[in-house]
A and B are shown apart, each in its own frame.
Chain A
């Protein structure tokens, strides 16, 4: 496994798009969170009617709620690492290195394990960026004194799982179509607007099915912004649902990679 990780890192570390993605993500996470704070939360806090209500709730940009707030906002940017994930696998097809890796001595399983690690590395890096952003915002709002608590840090794990699940779906699409721009188009179209539309339609006409769409399954790991939900019972239900969706997401991730391994094993390279 270490050997596969080392080889994948050799491929990643000098890929310019990877570093560009990191720079963009590193700017987007704090940037978007600040925008939500300044134009969403702070404005409403100063609002005559809303301000009173919001002050009754914990500050979403202070520990421990900051972990969940930043996780939710940052998760909206999954399309950025998805571009890199899609480029990585489609590059293998356009350069025909997916064949060369096998010729040089990898098994097809090794190749796919390498790709799984590849997606895991990207997910780990963006999770680290998310955690750093949340930590910095928390410290800026409440000082170091409150930073060293584990409360709310479960969202680091949930963010990783959610992003890994969604990037795995992007990977599967790229593996199936093999062409970077087509795969990107399909993923982005499905991410928005197709799945949100299907989820809404399912809510209206198909009872609870909407909860189990591929991206929605992991979206529900990280509940909506706290101050958008007024009802305490509804908020608790969302938190409860998040626990169940950990299991659903793990099942979905397993199934996604199971399909990937099967396709790669069966088809000619």
Chain B
């Protein structure tokens, strides 16, 4: 299947500062693709390039196999960095401008997206009177206008309260299930882990890794075990892999090569050595842990 977006050797300099260096990856259709990285890693620069706001010094990107063009951008709902609207216009009038430029949606769609982001009651208020969260909701409404099949969202939960964050998470999951492709830049790893199927991790402009979230998280299998006598259990497991004992919980973490953990065999081994396990769990590594491993 042709990727929705493919980047090849994207490099960008701001004067002497290198913001991106030779970044290449592909975004598969129907994925929720997270672009992760600490502040200053080049996430927004990368999204700005694929939306033609910035020009790359080198490399190219293709949307649906074609070089980027205004006609393609009209089909993509985007929120880049901050909500950018005319302060003197109301929410609904700002969306009319978005609709007029992009050709996405109609008058009824504008009403619908305002309801979806819970801004309908304040649709006639001027943008400058909105709170930070409301501004962000309007930007999300603009991105959703006309139900584009591809969305580019840069820090979409910025300024939202916990309820708002949960709503956006649900919305993204809902959009993915209805076949949308979503490219999302964020440093909220917990949120990304909950919604993304794929990630690309950047650090100071370099791509550290990219691929499916599960593949990136599980660079190794970690099995948690515990028994009445953790010392005996540890001696038995030492030859199998790297061991760590949590003294507070008396739980042992056994790290073995990815895909090699067999819980049944481990259980049988312990039992045949007169050790009865009271805890056995194949633990999924948190994205946060993996992120720090990669970026530090």
- Interface residues of chain A, those whose CB is within 8 Å of chain B, are 3, 6-7, 10-11, 14-16, 91, 95-97, 99-107, 110, 268-269
Contact = CB atoms under 8 A, between A and B. Distances in A.
Contact of A95 (B48, B80, B87, B102): B87
B248 to A, nearest CB: 50
Interface of B: 48, 51-55, 70-71, 73-74, 78, 80-82, 84-90, 93, 96-98, 100-103, 142
A105 B102 contact: yes
Contacts of B102: 104-105
17 contacts: A3-B100, A7-B100, A10-B93, A11-B86, A15-B88, A91-B86, A95-B86, A95-B87, A97-B84, A99-B80, A100-B98, A102-B53, A103-B80, A104-B74, A105-B71, A110-B70, A268-B55
Given A105-B102, A268-B53, A100 B70 contact: no
Given A3-B100, A10-B97, A95-B86, A104 B53 contact: no
Contacts of A102: 51-53, 70, 73
A179 B207 CA distance: 36
B74 A105 contact: yes
Given A10-B93, A10-B96, A269-B54, A104 B101 contact: yes
Given A15-B88, A99-B80, A99-B84, A10 B100 contact: yes
Contacts of B96: 10
Nearest to A6: B100
Contacts of B80: 99-100, 103
Q: Which 4 A-B pairs have the closest CB atoms?
A: A105-B74, A100-B84, A96-B84, A104-B101
B101 A105 contact: yes
Contacts of A100: 80, 84-85, 98
A105 B51 CA distance: 9
Contact of B82 (A3, A7, A96, A105): A96
A109 B73 CA distance: 15
Nearest to A16: B88
Given A6-B100, A10-B100, A14-B93, A103 B86 contact: no
Contacts of A15: 88
Nearest to B127: A95
A104 B82 CA distance: 14
A52 B27 CA distance: 85
B40 to A, nearest CB: 17
A105 B97 CA distance: 12
Contact of B53 (A10, A103, A110): A103
Contacts of A7: 97, 100-101
Contact of B86 (A3, A97, A105, A107): A97
A105 B53 contact: no
A99 B53 contact: yes
Contacts of A110: 70
Contacts of B53: 99, 102-103, 268-269
A187 to B, nearest CB: 22
Contacts of A6: 100
A10 B98 CA distance: 10
A269 B89 CA distance: 22
Contact of A103 (B73, B93, B97, B103): B73
Nearest to A268: B54
A106 B85 contact: no
Contacts of B90: 14
B93 A104 contact: no
A97 B85 contact: yes
A95 B94 CA distance: 12
B273 to A, nearest CB: 63
A5 B89 CA distance: 18
Contact of A106 (B70, B86, B93, B142): B70
Nearest to A110: B70
Nearest to A98: B84
Given A14-B89, A16-B88, A95-B87, A106 B100 contact: no
A101 B101 CA distance: 7
Contact of A104 (B71, B78, B81): B78
A91 B54 CA distance: 20
B70 A11 contact: no
Given A10-B93, A96-B82, A105-B103, 14 more contacts: A10-B97, A14-B93, A91-B87, A97-B85, A99-B84, A100-B84, A102-B52, A102-B53, A103-B52, A103-B80, A104-B78, A104-B98, A107-B70, A269-B53
